[in-house]
């Protein structure tokens, strides 16, 4: 935890009396309880026997404990396969986003060129494009090329939508690297790309982590393209669509649906909690300046 202080720099405002601080912490606890309640309720409805959940006046506390839904989801549904497909998909998207956003962010942040505002505007435009607009043209294109039911082909489209925000995040991080560092490296005989490779990258690790997380989560989450480009019988459904089909069946027992959702949410949540310190400094490097 020693490195934490580096990211959370200045001491926050000192309150005038201790009571105020106690009140603030009490509010914080209440807010946390409210925010976490849906996740708590999810767990409760999964592990307590079914009959207690199906009540007009459900108890707010656990009544009984049974972990079998977690097991049943893997047995009766293709949960394992869905997770594997989602993982492949998300990894491809992450790699594309990382590679391309490095180039774009460096060009936008540290290089001077005439078309820079135009390029920035282009990125903003692509970011504003709702997926629903381009889905039919892309679907037709993919059909004619035989690219439906292909995870890489789906990943390419997902990455196209995650890329703009990745570029902005990384640009902000690069902006916060002082120009003098770069000038010094250039006069030492480092090329522009050498500066990117040897100076910017090591100084921007939190930003790179943030880009990876944003790309990975985007793909893990993505439903619109995945549900349109992958057919259910292909054995290639990612988790989001697999869960969506479970949700669409009226006879799916609720504790199984919730258990599947919980398992699907677990990787990103655990991952996020592990790296959240990097995430925060990475996401927000440029935010301070506005």
The size of the interface with another protein (CB under 8 A), counted in residues, is 111
> Is there binding between residue 243 and another protein (CB under 8 A)?
yes
Calpha distance 214→236 (Å, rounded): 23
- Burial string for 18-38 (b: 16+ CB within 10 Å, else e) reads eeeeeeeeeeeeeeeeeeeee
Calpha distance 85→82 (Å, rounded): 5
- Of 151 and 257, the one with the shorter C-beta distance to another protein is 257
> Is there binding between residue 145 and another protein (CB under 8 A)?
no
The stretch among 62-70, 71-79, 100-108, 199-207 that binds another protein (CB under 8 A) is 100-108
> Is there binding between residue 68 and another protein (CB under 8 A)?
no
Tokens of 46: 């999964």
Calpha distance 45→58 (Å, rounded): 10
Helices (H) and strands (E) in the chain, counts: 15, 0
> Is there binding between residue 269 and another protein (CB under 8 A)?
yes
Q: Closest approach of Cβ 235 to another protein, in Å?
A: 19
Calpha distance 134→158 (Å, rounded): 12
Q: Closest approach of Cβ 65 to another protein, in Å?
A: 19
Binder among 68, 76, 231, 247 for another protein (CB under 8 A):
247
The stretch among 12-20, 67-75, 177-185, 199-207 that binds another protein (CB under 8 A) is 12-20
Calpha distance 17→181 (Å, rounded): 44
Binder among 25, 67, 181, 184 for another protein (CB under 8 A):
25
Q: Closest approach of Cβ 75 to another protein, in Å?
A: 19
> Is there binding between residue 70 and another protein (CB under 8 A)?
no
Q: Is 189 helix (H, G, I), strand (E, B) or coil?
A: coil
Binder among 154, 204, 258, 278 for another protein (CB under 8 A):
258
- Residue reference for tokens 């078309």: 115
Rg, Å, the chain Cα set: 23
Binder among 64, 76, 115, 253 for another protein (CB under 8 A):
115
| CA angle in degrees (0–180, nearest 5) for 58-63-67 | 115
> Is there binding between residue 67 and another protein (CB under 8 A)?
no
> Is there binding between residue 136 and another protein (CB under 8 A)?
yes
> Is there binding between residue 133 and another protein (CB under 8 A)?
yes
């Amino acid at each position: 935890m020693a490195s934490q202080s580096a990211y959370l720099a200045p001491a926050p405002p000192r309150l005038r009396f201790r009571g105020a601080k106690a009140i603030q912490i009490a509010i914080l606890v209440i807010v946390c309880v409210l925010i976490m309640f849906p996740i708590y309720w999810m767990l409760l409805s999964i592990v307590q026997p079914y009959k207690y959940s199906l009540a007009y006046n459900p108890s707010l506390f656990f009544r009984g404990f049974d972990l079998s839904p977690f097991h049943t989801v893997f047995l009766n549904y293709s949960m394992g396969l869905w997770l594997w497909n989602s993982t492949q998909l998300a990894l491809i998207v992450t790699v594309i986003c990382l590679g391309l956003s490095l180039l774009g962010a460096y060009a936008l942040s540290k290089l001077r060129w005439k078309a820079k505002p135009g390029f920035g505007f282009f990125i903003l435009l692509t970011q504003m494009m709702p997926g629903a607009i381009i889905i039919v043209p892309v679907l037709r294109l993919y059909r004619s090329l035989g690219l439906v039911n292909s995870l890489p082909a789906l990943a390419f489209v997902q990455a196209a939508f995650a890329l703009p925000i990745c570029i902005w995040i990384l640009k902000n991080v690069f902006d916060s690297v002082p120009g003098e560092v770069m000038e010094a490296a250039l006069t030492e005989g480092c090329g522009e790309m050498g500066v990117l490779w040897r100076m910017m990258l090591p100084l921007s690790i939190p930003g790179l982590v943030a880009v990876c997380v944003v790309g990975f989560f985007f793909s893990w989450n993505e439903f619109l393209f995945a549900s349109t480009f992958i057919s259910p019988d292909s054995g290639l459904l990612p988790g989001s669509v697999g869960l969506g089909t479970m949700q669409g069946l009226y006879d799916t027992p609720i504790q199984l649906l919730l258990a599947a959702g919980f398992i699907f949410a677990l990787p990103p949540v655990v991952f996020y909690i592990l790296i959240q310190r990097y995430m925060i400094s990475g996401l927000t490097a440029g935010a301070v300046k506005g």
